[in-house]
């Protein structure tokens, strides 16, 4: 290979990939090697290396060597080792001199976060939260139609006193009458999910408890009320028992109707596998949506796309006719809404970008009519109100809001600040309300009255008391190797010198068409105040620039996401903000795969990588979430798909003699989406094969799930560990132990 790097497209996708990290071009300079070899033993006692075997198998002609396959079975050997690894990581990071002061600062900044959740409306009532005071969480309160307010009791304590349970915010849906509230509760992160109903008039839970609601993601935990408030539709796996493995809990999803005051065992299944032709065990239905009195709309997520189904509802909540498939899309719908018998939806159906279409559901043979063309417009959100249809649009990193009148005229609504428009929803009397969020200002809860030209603040979000004028958020365009410009958001202090010394956290995702929108996080200022830059690479595979952007980074084009991450990091060096080796890749879930793969490809460029609940070995799976990834990554049941998936998997990219970046993995012990063995296998392989001795640490939140920090006694601890680890590895004097100064 003569030391010349091959292109990552050839490496990751072109195959072969077996000797790709043996080139000297992949190894960092000698001074970086000296940094990695600093005495970890002086900080804590590292556990012995876990057992490695000679396990290998050949599937579809693809050889897979997996020396740590035994970890997937769990058991005492794995449990003891993983606990020792996490304890080692905690001790190592706790010993860093600057960590205690950093945690105090992060905790103080977190208390300045004014996010108190999204207000809920129903029956003239408003359910909201008062801001947190000190270390106390936000407190729920109910505002009556006449303006009177009263605080609500602690919903967790009423459910189970003194136990480690957590609320699922998206499962809280207020009934149309305003009397009942659905409440989702889990134990120790994501274990034992239940769905309950709280009576706001009596202050007590109703006796029925729905076990095993389908938690494919937050949307799967969200019920949909009947218009009269007498019951709701929800999703669960009827085949699940206490013995069902966590990774299988979202299979066989069916939609059920539950009526208040009745036995859950008598709930009626109305949609799903075995009921509707073409729906299979790994399709995931969602019922979230407005409590329309006449129609039930179901979103079906499939391995290769999305569908919208509809059926008319009778007065008693039963379906007048079988569910009918209305729309099919290769990617996620941008939103949908109802007015009378008309369904409006943002869909790329028949186009490469989202367009607005309408379907007359009362006509069995009616097809979609185009209301707004796709063109170059990245339509991203939709709310159908009595007076008009409201759509949001992404434009160069910020979003705008528009009203579409009955005669097709499109009118832009003036916003008090430019940022991300989210939670767009129609108001009962017309108009809409929504959140505008930016990188450096607290979210605002705004509303637009029918016919109004501008949005106004509802006053439901408390004002920001933190001065962020010393910081700036800017967007640069990083030229990718194929000439496409990739947007990169930079957050920094205004007075930061451009001297190639700044430590950089480069966050990316690049999967499933998801967008990396602006959001306010005051704790991030602790990193910026220490001379750091927080950057977000809006890479292909995500949906930041519309559906085309997603399609450009999926399936055979998936390596483009990793290439964009590398090219974005390279551009920050070119701009003079930092230098190779002082960039840390940060990725979560699927972003752990894209960022982790990019960091392993270029350890000379990425001095570190922080991967949270990361997807690291996609050759192994079997759960519905794994199979739903086929559209983005390829089909593992085909030779080509498996070869491509293996080449993308960070676990299989670590080969003997490879240079690796410093690694910190953060995982929840109760993560059903990404099992803990993925992190265990990756850390073991990285430590056994790294040629430069870079540290590979694993931090486990034993009460966390895929949300990582759910159930944390101190949420500031996890973020503190992330920042402390990077400041230590990048040589910040305040974080170097005496033996390393």
592 found inside a domain: yes
Q: Where are the beta strands (DSSP E) in 515-591?
A: 533-537, 583-588
175 found inside a domain: no
**How many angstroms separate the Cα of 468 from the Cα of each of 163, 454, 525, 593?**
38, 25, 9, 33
| Residue 634 confidence (pLDDT) | 85
| Residue 179 confidence (pLDDT) | 97
Residue 593 and residue 651: Cα distance in Å, rounded?
9
Which CATH number does the domain housing residue 576 bear?
3.40.50.1820
442 found inside a domain: no
State the maximum Cα–Cα separation within the chain, in Å, rounded to a whole number.
78
Rg for the chain (alpha carbons), in Å?
Answer: 26
Residues in Cβ contact with 134 at an 8 Å cutoff, skipping those fewer than 6 apart? 111
| Helices H / strands E in the chain, number of each | 15, 39
Buried/exposed 562-573: b ≥16 CB within 10 Å, e otherwise: bbbbbbbbbbbb
Residues in Cβ contact with 291 at an 8 Å cutoff, skipping those fewer than 6 apart? 175, 176, 224, 225, 226, 227, 229
Ranges of residues in the chain whose predicted pLDDT is under 50: 1-43, 711
Residue 10 and residue 630: Cα distance in Å, rounded?
21
| Residue 706 confidence (pLDDT) | 81
333 found inside a domain: no
| Residue 81: φ, ψ to 5° | -70, -45
Residue 462 and residue 10: Cα distance in Å, rounded?
52
Q: Which residues pair with 101 in a beta bridge?
A: none
Q: Which two tokens stand for residue 104?
A: 């105090």
Domains in the chain, number = 1
The secondary structure element, H or E, covering residue 342 is strand 342-347
560 found inside a domain: yes
529 found inside a domain: yes
Q: Which residues pair with 402 in a beta bridge?
A: 391, 412
Q: Which two tokens stand for residue 315?
A: 């007065």
Residue 637 and residue 60: Cα distance in Å, rounded?
8
| Residue 34 confidence (pLDDT) | 34
29 found inside a domain: yes
Question: pTM here?
Answer: 0.87
Q: Are 730 and 532 in contact (CB under 8 A)?
A: no
Residue 312 and residue 296: Cα distance in Å, rounded?
6
Residue 337 and residue 673: Cα distance in Å, rounded?
30
| Residue 101 confidence (pLDDT) | 96
Range of the domain at 619: 8-48+472-740
């Amino acid at each position: 290979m003569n030391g010349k790097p091959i292109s990552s497209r050839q490496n990751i996708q072109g195959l072969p990939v077996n000797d790709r990290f043996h080139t000297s071009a992949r190894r960092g300079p000698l001074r970086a090697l000296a940094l990695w070899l600093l005495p970890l033993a002086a900080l804590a006692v590292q556990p012995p290396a876990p057992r490695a075997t000679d396990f290998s198998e050949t599937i579809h002609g693809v050889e897979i060597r997996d020396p740590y396959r035994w970890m997937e079975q769990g058991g005492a050997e794995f449990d003891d080792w993983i606990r020792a690894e996490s304890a080692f990581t905690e001790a190592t990071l706790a010993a860093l001199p600057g960590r205690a002061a950093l945690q105090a600062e992060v905790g103080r900044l977190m208390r300045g976060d004014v996010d108190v959740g999204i207000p809920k409306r129903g029956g003239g009532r408003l359910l909201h939260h008062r801001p947190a005071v000190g270390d106390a969480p936000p407190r729920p309160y109910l505002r009556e139609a006449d303006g009177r307010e009263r605080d609500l009791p602690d919903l967790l304590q009423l459910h189970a006193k003194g136990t480690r349970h957590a609320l699922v915010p998206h499962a809280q849906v207020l009934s149309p009458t305003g009397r009942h509230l659905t409440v989702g509760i889990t134990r120790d992160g994501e274990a034992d999910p239940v769905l309950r109903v709280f009576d706001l008039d009596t202050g007590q839970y109703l006796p029925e408890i729905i076990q095993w609601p389908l938690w494919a993601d937050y949307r799967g935990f969200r019920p949909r009320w009947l218009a009269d408030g007498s019951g709701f539709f929800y999703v669960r796996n009827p085949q699940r028992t206490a013995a069902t493995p966590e990774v299988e809990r979202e299979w066989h999803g069916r939609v059920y109707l539950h009526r208040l005051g009745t036995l859950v065992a008598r709930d009626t299944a109305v949609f799903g596998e075995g009921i509707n032709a073409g729906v299979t065990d790994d399709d995931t239905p969602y019922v979230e949506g407005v409590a329309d009195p006449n129609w039930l709309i179901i979103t079906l997520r499939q391995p290769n796309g999305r569908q919208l189904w509809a059926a008319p509802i009778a007065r008693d909540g039963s379906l007048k006719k079988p569910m009918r498939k209305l729309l099919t899309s290769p990617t996620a719908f941008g939103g949908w809404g109802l007015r009378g018998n008309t369904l409006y939806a943002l869909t790329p159906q028949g186009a490469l970008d989202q367009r607005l279409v309408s379907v007359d559901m009362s006509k069995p043979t009616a097809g979609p009519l185009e209301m707004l063309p796709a063109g170059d417009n990245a339509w991203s959100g939709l709310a159908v109100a009595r007076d008009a249809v409201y759509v949001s649009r992404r434009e160069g990193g910020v979003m705008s809001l528009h009203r579409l009148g009955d005669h097709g005229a499109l009118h832009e609504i003036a916003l008090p600040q430019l940022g991300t428009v989210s939670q767009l929803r129609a108001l009962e009397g017309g108009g809409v309300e929504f959140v505008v969020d930016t990188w450096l200002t607290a979210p605002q809860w705004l509303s637009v009255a029918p016919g109004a030209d501008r949005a106004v603040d509802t006053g439901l979000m408390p004002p920001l008391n933190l001065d962020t004028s010393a910081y700036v958020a800017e967007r640069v365009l990083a030229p990718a190797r194929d000439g496409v410009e990739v947007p990169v958001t930079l957050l920094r202090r205004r007075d930061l010198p451009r001297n190639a010394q700044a430590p950089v956290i480069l966050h990316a995702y690049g999967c499933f068409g998801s967008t990396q929108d602006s959001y306010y996080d005051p704790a991030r200022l602790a990193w910026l105040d220490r001379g750091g830059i927080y950057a977000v690479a809006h890479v292909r595979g995500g949906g930041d620039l519309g559906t085309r952007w997603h399609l450009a980074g999926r399936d055979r084009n998936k390596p483009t996401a990793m290439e964009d991450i590398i090219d974005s990091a390279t551009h920050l060096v070119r701009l003079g903000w930092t230098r190779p080796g002082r960039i840390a890749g940060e990725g979560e879930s699927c972003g752990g795969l894209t960022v982790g793969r990019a960091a392993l490809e270029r350890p000379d460029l990425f001095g570190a990588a922080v991967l949270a609940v990361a997807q690291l070995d996609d050759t192994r799976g079997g759960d519905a979430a794994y199979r739903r990834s086929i559209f983005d990554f390829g089909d593992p049941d085909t030779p080509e798909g498996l070869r491509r998936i293996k080449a993308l998997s960070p676990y299989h990219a670590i080969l003997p003699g490879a240079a690796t970046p410093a690694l910190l993995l953060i995982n929840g012990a109760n993560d059903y989406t990404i099992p803990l063995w993925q992190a265990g296998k990756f850390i073991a392989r990285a430590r056994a094969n790294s040629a430069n001795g870079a540290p590979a640490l694993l931090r486990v939140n034993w009460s966390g799930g895929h949300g990582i920090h759910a159930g944390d006694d101190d949420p500031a601890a996890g973020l503190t560990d992330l920042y402390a680890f990077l400041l230590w590895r990048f040589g910040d004097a305040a974080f170097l132990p005496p033996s390393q100064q």
